[in-house]
Structures are given as structure tokens and as C-alpha cells.
Structure 1
Amino acid sequence: MPATTIHFVRHGQVYNPEHVLYERLPGFHLSERGVRMAQATAQFVAENPATQSLAAIYSSPLDRTKETADIVCQAVNQARRVRQEKPLSVQFDQRLIEAGNNFRGKRIGRGDGALWRDGNWRLLTNLMKPSWGESYRSIASRMTDFTYEQVARYPGQQILVVSHESPIWTLRHLLETGRPEHNMFLRHAALASITSITFDSSTQKVLGITYADPAGGVQ
């Protein structure tokens, strides 16, 4: 029974001293700590027998995920050269992008541009929908489209996907509970963590889900 494993990696910490809700805005890059987090996860992926034999690497097209994916890809290719294997390149897919958020560009805190000004708080009526942006069902739809497409494309192989907290957790919650809606404050997908989902390549049934946090101790 061939099995396909997709390793979903969340990007590293973002440099955001103004505490802006950056959503899909350009220009938000990894912080110095975020780079170190991505490097720790990259080393884990390159050295761990359970993750080192990748057939492809995909990423959301946003700056922070592209940078994380590039760091992982460099480490993976360094290990592949030692094994005399063909190097991989990062492929981008719009379906992996961050969830849409009506608060984009607002700041968490006080002063001009703060989230709580101009009546924005009125959108905070339903944590499970969510009422302030793209629905969890929409996120789940695009993530499952991408996921099952790759399961069919890479039977019996492993791929790595760099995305964002909300898409990764929404997909996992759907696969584990049958519904995408969840409480955002109860997510379990730390920065630069790896959520690995293994599927039966023939039936697309989930065989197992594991989680690793290689960058959890990075300062």
C-alpha cells in the first residue's frame, strides 16, 4: 500500500515591530530569529530520515513563506548533493496563501491605525466563522484541493509545503474532526513547526498525523 506524506511547515517569525496585521501584504520578511527558526527546521528536515527524501517543495507565494522555503530547500539540496541526487527547486501555489483578513494593515494596540478604532471591533462577532475574513470552509476547500492533487501526483513519496498557521491548522482540523471551523486560540501549529500528514495514495484516506517543533527552542 503506497503512502504519500505531506510535511506542512509554518513559516518562521516575521519582522513586525509595529505589530501590523500583515495578512497578505507584501514587504513582511523573516526576522533574524525567524531566519534561525527556519534554519533549525531546515536542518531537521535535511537530517531526519523521515523527512529527507523529498520529491518536491511547495510554498505560499508570500515573502515570509518564500524565505522559509528557500532556507529549507538549500539545506535539503546540500544533503542531496552528498547523496548525488538531483536538486529540488521551490514551486509556488496560490492555494497555500494566508487566510484573507478584513483587518489587514491594522495594528494591534493603540493609536492611529489600531484595530480597535473606527468600529472594527464590530466584525469580531463569531470566532468559528470567522466573521472578519475568509471563511474556514473556503480555506479548507483550497487546501484540500491542493493536498489531494499532490497525493495523486506523488504516490508513495514525500513532499514539503510551506504555508501559514490558519491554512495548516484548518486542514488538520478538517481531517481530524470532519469540520474546518475551530477556535483560532486553540491552534497547535507553532512558528516553523512541521505537521506531517500521511495518506493512502490509492484511497486518499488519512493514515496518520504527526507534529514536530524543531525551532521551539530558538531564541
Structure 2
Amino acid sequence: MKDITKTTIFFVRHGETHKGKEIFWSRKPGRSLSQKGIKQIEKAASYLSQFPIIGIFYSPSKRTTQSAIIISESFRHAEITTSKELWEWDQGFNGKRVEGKPFSSFGQEINNVYQSHPTKMIGGETLIEAIQRASGFVNELIFKYEGKFIVCVSHEDVIRGTVLVLQKESLDNLNSIPCVKGSIYKLVFRKERLISVEYIPGFT
């Protein structure tokens, strides 16, 4: 007998993108999926096709939009909607946004902080703010689509941070869990309580 109180949300990271300039892309437009990225998402869609997905929500970025469209081809009757709550983390460092700036302008310091204490990256949107919006959106989906299967297409740090918060773990553990391109986190809830987490590695 189907448990109608169980809600399943699949967080999908977008596929590989074309190599661009060595800059912080963040929400900067124009980065599209490579052929490998397209194949990664096609394989992710094949995995998802075994579930009765009724809704696909995605970040406004081009790479996530393309990924969501590919997935939607397997679910012709699913609702497909963009949501800024799933958008990339708009990072900052030393009081300034980093979007569009070259990696070289920050040296090793930014990587050291990102790896050890990402919650201390200040200047744009904080990691805490980014995950609050994404996890809040998850709660809205659970309430609206109780007992259903939903896909959210988003970005590495947003997905990892949301998984950590839902498991009541520190956001400074961001880099301790995987989220490769084209991978999936399957989150199962009973009412608003998270009861299982499964990581499905990327489809290379």
C-alpha cells in the first residue's frame, strides 16, 4: 500500500558545462552544457524515469535550465517551473561579491576559507542565507506536494548545504559530502521530517 505521507525530492546538480574563463561564474549568464553535460543529464533523467515525477523546479541559470528541460522530456505532464530559491550561491569575499572576478585576484586565501569555513565568506550572499532560501523552498514543496515525487535542479553548494541543514549538520562541513555534476540526492520525508538520504553519483 502506498504511503501517501512520504514525499520524495530529488536534488539534481546540472551537467558539465563548456570551459569558460577562469572566473567565479556564480550567477553570471551564458554558461551552457557541454556534450558530456548533456549526456550526464540524459542518464540522470533515465534513472528518474522510474518514478512518477509530477513537478520539476530549477534555478534560473542557463546550465540548470538546460538540465531541467532535458529531464522534463521524460515527464511530459510534469509541472516545470523556475525558482530563484534554487539559484547559485552569490558568493562574496572580504566584503565584495566575487561574480565575474578572476580566480587569480584572490590568491589561495579564498580557497582556504571556502574549504575550511565557508560560512565566513562575506560580501555577497552568505552561505547561511543561500541555504535558508533553498531549504525554505523544500519545506514549501513538502507542504504543497505531500506524498508526491519532485525534482529540483540546482548547484553544487546549494544542494550540499541544503542536505547538511536538513540533516542538522554544520554548513562548515560543506566540502565533506559529494555532489559531482549530474549527480542526484534522493531525499525522502514523512510529513516535514527527513527519514532517508541517498546519494546517486554522477552518470559519466
Moved over 4 A (4+): 120-126
Indicate the residue corresponding to 1:159 in structure 2.
150
How many aligned positions are there? 193
Residue 89 to residue 34, structure 1, CA distance change in 2 (3 Å): same
Indicate the residue corresponding to 1:111 in structure 2.
none
The DSSP-based 3-state class of the residue aligned with 2:119 is coil
Gaps of 5+ in 1: 78-86, 109-113
Q: Is the 8 A contact 1:115 1:121 kept in 2?
A: no
1:33-182 superposed matches below 5 A: 33-46=36-49, 48=50, 52-77=51-76, 87-101=77-91, 102-108=97-103, 114-116=104-106, 121=109, 125=113, 127-132=117-122, 133-176=124-167, 178-182=168-172
Match of 1:31 among 4, 9, 34: 34
* Bigger CA radius of gyration: 1
Q: Is the 8 A contact 2:20 2:31 kept in 1?
A: no
> What letter is aligned with 1:75?
S
Q: Is the 8 A contact 2:180 2:202 kept in 1?
A: no
Match of 1:198 among 185, 188, 197: 188
Q: Distance in 2 between matches of 1:25 and 1:191?
A: 18
Gaps of 5+ in 2: 92-96
> What letter is aligned with 1:104?
E
Residue 130 to residue 28, structure 1, CA distance change in 2 (3 Å): farther
Q: Which has the higher strand share?
A: 2
> What letter is aligned with 1:174?
V
Match of 2:197 among 182, 202, 209: 209
Give the CA deviation at 1:127: 2.4
Q: Distance in 2 between matches of 1:71 and 1:157?
A: 21
Q: RMSD of the alignment, in Å?
A: 2.1
| TM-score normalized by the length of structure 2 | 0.85
Give the CA deviation at 1:115: 3.2
Residue 122 to residue 57, structure 1, CA distance change in 2 (3 Å): closer
> What letter is aligned with 2:70?
I
Give the CA deviation at 1:89: 4.0
> What letter is aligned with 2:78?
L
Q: Distance in 1 between matches of 2:70 and 2:110?
A: 40
Q: Percentage identity across aligned positions? A: 23
Q: Distance in 1 between matches of 2:202 and 2:157?
A: 19
Give the CA deviation at 1:122: 6.8
Q: Is the 8 A contact 2:164 2:174 kept in 1?
A: no
The DSSP-based 3-state class of the residue aligned with 1:76 is coil
Residue 167 to residue 122, structure 1, CA distance change in 2 (3 Å): closer
| TM-score normalized by the length of structure 1 | 0.80
Is 1:189 the counterpart of 2:202? The answer is no
Give the CA deviation at 1:9: 0.3
